[in-house]
Amino acid sequence: MQILGVDIGGTGIKGAIVDTKTGELISERVRFETPHPATPQAVAETLKRLVTTLKYSGPIGCGFPARVLDGIVKTAANIDESWVEIPVNQMLSESLNCEVFVANDADVAGLCEAEIGAAKDSRGVVVFLTLGTGIGSSIFINGTPFLNTELGHLKFKGEEAEKYCSALVREKEELKWKEWGERLNSYLKYVAFILNPDLFVIGGGASKKFDKFKDKLSVGVPVVPAQHLNLAGIIGAAMYGEHCLHQHL
């Protein structure tokens, strides 16, 4: 199926039409800055611009940087607080006049990697972490997703982990890749202590630079970059949209 996948992040809103079987992008990738403040209306407007730019009509799968339970936004770490308790599927479907299916951004990116990416053939416990403006997480147990885990908000070194080692923190604090890699390594060890995973998959912007920090990783568990790198968010969003459409049938 060909469907628009959109990755709404704290910094950028990115989308492309995706062939969900192969994960291939069949349109250009379009990116707009996330509006500030990222209110529901402002995000809906940006989404409309994205759809118009791609001349797309049809359903949309969407990753969203918050806990989303049954189509309702429950948290707002990197988006405007007014999102909390908004029925996001309904709200965006009405403003865009098409079906929009929304889930947590890390959960959909993880779905891409679990089904057609770095964790495709993995059994046991896979922890997918997306490192961007925040840290998103997704867990798969023998291929079955465990949703909305929010491991980026674990308390670590006296603060929330995403304030210690997200990609944004690396930029803001002008950390060298190796320095940041050491921070990431200590956080991964902490997560490994709690969850005892068989594999970590690293997504988000940092996945493209994996070679720059991989030498600092000594977690005792394999750590690999997302096969679809930062595109896992868009591809997974499209795959999630397709899953939802099939459940409707």
Binding site for ligand BGC (CB under 6 A): 9, 65-67, 75, 77-78, 104-106, 130, 132, 134, 136, 150, 152, 162
Kindly give, in sequence order, each residue whose CB lies less than 8 Å from that of residue 70, ignoring residues fewer than 6 positions away: none
Neighbours of 103 (CB within 10 A): 28
Smallest separation, CB 109 to ligand BGC (Å): 9
CB closer to ligand BGC, 2 vs 11: 11
Smallest separation, CB 220 to ligand BGC (Å): 25
CB closer to ligand BGC, 93 vs 104: 104
CB closer to ligand BGC, 26 vs 69: 69
Are 113 and 199 within 8 A, CB to CB?
A: no
CB closer to ligand BGC, 132 vs 181: 132
Kindly give, in sequence order, each residue whose CB lies less than 8 Å from that of residue 138, ignoring residues fewer than 6 positions away: 104, 106, 107, 109, 110, 111, 127, 128, 129, 130, 145, 146, 147, 149
Helix, strand, coil % (nearest 5) of the chain? 40, 25, 35
DSSP state of 87: B
What are the start-end ranges of the H helices in 77-198? 88-96, 105-116, 162-165, 167-172, 177-195
Smallest separation, CB 176 to ligand BGC (Å): 23
Smallest separation, CB 135 to ligand BGC (Å): 6
CB closer to ligand BGC, 153 vs 214: 153
Q: How far apart are CA 75 and CA 28, in angstroms?
A: 31
Smallest separation, CB 22 to ligand BGC (Å): 25
